[in-house]
Amino acid sequence: MDALMEMDWGDLVRRYAVGVEWFDPRLFHLPDAELDTPFKPEAGAGQLPIRALVTHLADCELVYLHRLRRAVSEDTPMLGVFDEQACFDGPLYGRGTRAGVTTAPPVAGSVAVVHTLRRWALDWLFDMDEATQNREAMHPERGSMTVREILVFATWHLEHHTKFLNAKIEHLLGPMPEPGPMPEGGCGPGCGCASQASAGNGNS
């Protein structure tokens, strides 16, 4: 986290923008049984089920972005504490966290929340002057936090948990395979460059 704190503001915002691109894309092809199965400690990937972890990341994005917006707009606002454990103990995170829960929130929905909120924030984050970066909010447990510190924590939090997410997927499916060769005649059946090439279109 210290390295993130020392970054130039523009570089920090660009790092924050990466977001869900850190995720192993095989996440979207896992069956429900694998998404909802807790991991044993010996797996070394954290014990949370994959669905619960990804839903937690979406919840945290809501919290962190709201904190950022309040710190930018209000004079030293008092932030609320996010009770993460209450979410894990309730029905919102799916079948893998509590017996008798039948809900299965879509993983793609949680990923979309993270991506959309970060993209929504980018324009005003890039335009932020130094005085605004140093505006403060009060956290009941952490004390005073600047806008920069909140952004650093949000960036670190996603990357930290992504290491465990990708380790879980690798535990189930093995290492991420190397990308294969590009198909001849274009990117694939849904790409317009294949038909353009066959028609002799010289436009690039």
CATH of the domain at 130: 1.20.120.450
**What residues make up the domain containing 64?**
2-198
| Cβ pair 19, 118 in contact under 8 A | yes
> In the structure encoding, which two tokens stand for residue 89, read together?
């103990």
H or E element in which residue 146 lies: strand 143-146
Residue 62 is assigned to a structural domain of this protein: yes
Residue 60 is assigned to a structural domain of this protein: yes
Residue 203 is assigned to a structural domain of this protein: no
Residue 136 is assigned to a structural domain of this protein: yes
Residue 78 is assigned to a structural domain of this protein: yes
Whole-model pTM: value is 0.85
- How far apart CA 196 and CA 115 sit, in angstroms, is 32
Picking from 33, 24, 32, 15, the residue whose alpha carbon sits closest to that of residue 164 is 24
Residue 11 is assigned to a structural domain of this protein: yes
Tens of pLDDT, residue by residue, the chain (204 residues): 899 999 999 999 999 999 999 999 999 999 999 999 999 999 889 999 999 999 999 999 999 999 999 999 999 999 999 999 998 888 888 887 777 788 788 999 999 999 999 999 999 999 999 999 999 999 999 999 999 999 999 999 999 999 999 999 999 999 988 877 755 655 555 555 544 444 444 444
Q: Angle at the Cα of 17 (from 14 to 21), degrees rounded to 5?
A: 120
The residue behind tokens 């924050």 is 16
Domain tally for the chain?
1
> In the structure encoding, which two tokens stand for residue 112, read together?
């979309």
Residue environment code for 106-117, b if the CB has 16+ CB neighbours within 10 A, otherwise e: ebeebbebbbeb
Residue 155 is assigned to a structural domain of this protein: yes
